[in-house]
Structure 1
Amino acid sequence: KATEAAPQAVPGFWDPRRRPDRPDLSRLTVIRFLTETDYPPFNFTGPDGNPAGFNVDLARSLCDEIKVTCTIQMRRFETLIDALATNRGDAIIASMAVTPQLRAKVDFTDPYYRAPARFVSRRDNVMPEIRPEYLEGKKVGVIAGTSHEAYLKAMFTDAEIHSYPDNDTLRAALRRGEVDFIFGDAISLAFWINGTDSAECCAFSGGPFVESRYFGEGVGIAVRKGNDLLRQSLNWALFRIWEKGRFTDLWLRYFSISPF
């Protein structure tokens, strides 16, 4: 069920006073979207074998708004940038965080949500606030090689950091009590906490961490460098969807527990 504060938790990045100009949409004949295979609830393979999830539904809404034919192809996350560069698709909609490193390779639309980081603990160990000194000597799990791991190593130097290869092993470690906390993407964690896989074991501890140096400037749609027509068309359509309330409807359909 939706929480009382859910409407305020819908990320709105669009300023009603800064309406994007409508580009010449007639020059777009097709948009080939690329997304990732396994990042629920944003993108995943549905029961019928077709792409599903928040990003997939958002892509379809953008195509409706632009009135253009679209295709959506699913690939492994690490292959997406290369597929875009070699013209196997036109736009990546896969919860890709806008960072300086990626800006060197692709152009991004305006952000359509931010992905804060949060701590999760077992329900019998919830802390209302988390500061580095509170976690001295505590075991904290995180996925190896992520910005979340880099942030913990830089900021939570007295915690005992345990790195795991993927979400399943990370979350299982918390359920079994191998770690006191896990740290990661708040949106996928909210989905897990609220779902059946967590068996109601766990809850958020403390509030969101949003340092853009680690967690990006938000999440955008990536297009090839210099493809300004497509980038501007997507920006225009994102604004229109938000203005009409369709973005809020879509967000609340997927996120009844606020990640923020």
Structure 2
Amino acid sequence: MVAKAHRLTPLETKGFSRLACIFGVIFALLPMLGSAAEVAVPNYMDPRERIAVPDLSSRSRIRFLTSVDFPPFSFLDRTGRLSGFHVDLARAICDELSALDKCQIQALPWSELGNALGNAQGEALIAGIAVTAENRDRYRFTRPYLALPARFVIRGDAAIGGTDADALAARRVGVLAHSAHEAMLRNWFPDIRPVTFDRADWMFDALRKGGVDAVYGDGVQLSFWLSSAGAEGCCRFFDGPFLSVDYLGEGLAIAVAPDNQPLADAFDHALAALNRSGRFAELYLRWFPNGLY
């Protein structure tokens, strides 16, 4: 796992605000491939472990449920087609399990996903469901497959005078108000001067125009803003990644019904195989060409 060892706990997940749907427009404009030599690809599976494949022959279908408002993980593209990292990952899992003919990927409103498995609307949720103690009582989760880090971004021409976050001491750093990232910034970096914003676009505008020295926030949102026309090539990642179970959760995982251990095991087998073969890396680089780490 890619990590700054002295600052990191093992995993994090969706503790950030869901990205605005307008980012779906940005994703359609991004280059869809990246270079493994330039971008670190995460792997949370032990390459030495071989997970047995449960027999899925008795299953007539495997329905993955997701949402349409979580880009780049799941969203409607400009043609109205369901797209995203989670959509491609679900298909790759089904292919690895030789079950493409049984798999379906459907979208539901976020508000309906919580009860969807109990209502027999699907067999798996691949939608960024937070791995919390409460949700562990409702679902069985696969092993995490992706952590979503917090990152700093600075202007490309900034004279910071260092290569890590210590160089930002006493500097003005933008962060979204009342977010997990604000709490994390204040606790982990007490020498930094937080400047809070109610909207991400206001925060980005302040960075671009020099109103703040840096911003701190969700690595996914920051990565795709850096690639957007709105960033005007102004800025770059600085230090990090920063991960925290306490602030950001345990990691993205697939949720199944609590009594469906065989299906969770099958997904774990497929995720491990996809990591070994390099297919997971291909998907990651396709949807995160600038990386998250």
Matched, 1:107 2:146: no
1:33-52 to structure 2, matched below 5 A, reads 33-52=64-83
Alignment-derived partner of residue 42 in structure 2: 11
Matched, 1:21 2:44: no
- Partner amino acid for 2:37? A
Alignment-derived partner of residue 179 in structure 1: 212
Pick the structure with more strand per residue.
1
- Partner amino acid for 1:217? E
TM-score, with length taken from structure 2: 0.75
Aligned mates of 2:292, 2:159 — CA distance in 1: 16
TM-score, with length taken from structure 1: 0.84
1:104 shift after superposition: 4.0
Alignment-derived partner of residue 91 in structure 2: 60
Aligned mates of 1:81, 1:166 — CA distance in 2: 27
Aligned mates of 2:63, 2:270 — CA distance in 1: 16
1:210-221 to structure 2, matched below 5 A, reads 210-221=243-254
Alignment-derived partner of residue 164 in structure 2: 129
1:227-255 C-alpha deviation (Å, 9 max, x unpaired): 21221121122122223321122112222
Alignment-derived partner of residue 73 in structure 1: 107
Which structure's relative contact order is higher, taking Cα pairs within 8 Å and 6+ residues apart? 2
Consecutive unaligned residues of structure 1, counting only runs of 5 or more, are none
Flag the 1:177–1:32 CA change in 2: closer, same or farther, 3 A: farther
Matched, 1:198 2:198: no
Structure 1 window deviating more from structure 2 (155-164 vs 244-253): it is 155-164
Pick the structure with more helix per residue.
1
Q: Secondary structure at the match of 1:94?
A: coil
Structure 1 window deviating more from structure 2 (41-50 vs 155-164): it is 155-164
Matched, 1:239 2:281: no
Consecutive unaligned residues of structure 2, counting only runs of 5 or more, are 1-32
Flag the 1:48–1:214 CA change in 2: closer, same or farther, 3 A: same
Matched, 1:147 2:170: no
Alignment-derived partner of residue 6 in structure 2: none
1:23 shift after superposition: 0.5
Runs of 4+ in 1 over 6 A off after TM superposition: none
Aligned mates of 2:34, 2:189 — CA distance in 1: 33
1:166-197 C-alpha deviation (Å, 9 max, x unpaired): 54444344334443322222133222212333
Aligned mates of 1:32, 1:169 — CA distance in 2: 39
Flag the 1:220–1:166 CA change in 2: closer, same or farther, 3 A: farther
The 8 Å contact of residues 106 and 224 in structure 1, kept in 2 or not, is answered as yes
1:74 shift after superposition: 4.3
Aligned mates of 1:230, 1:101 — CA distance in 2: 21
Alignment-derived partner of residue 92 in structure 1: 125
Structure 1 window deviating more from structure 2 (227-236 vs 95-104): it is 95-104
1:28-56 C-alpha deviation (Å, 9 max, x unpaired): 32222222323332222112212111111
Q: Secondary structure at the match of 1:26?
A: coil
Flag the 1:13–1:164 CA change in 2: closer, same or farther, 3 A: same
Matched, 1:116 2:149: yes
Aligned mates of 1:177, 1:64 — CA distance in 2: 48
1:140-160 C-alpha deviation (Å, 9 max, x unpaired): 222x45432321232334544
Aligned mates of 2:119, 2:36 — CA distance in 1: 46
Flag the 1:4–1:99 CA change in 2: closer, same or farther, 3 A: same
The 8 Å contact of residues 61 and 103 in structure 2, kept in 1 or not, is answered as yes
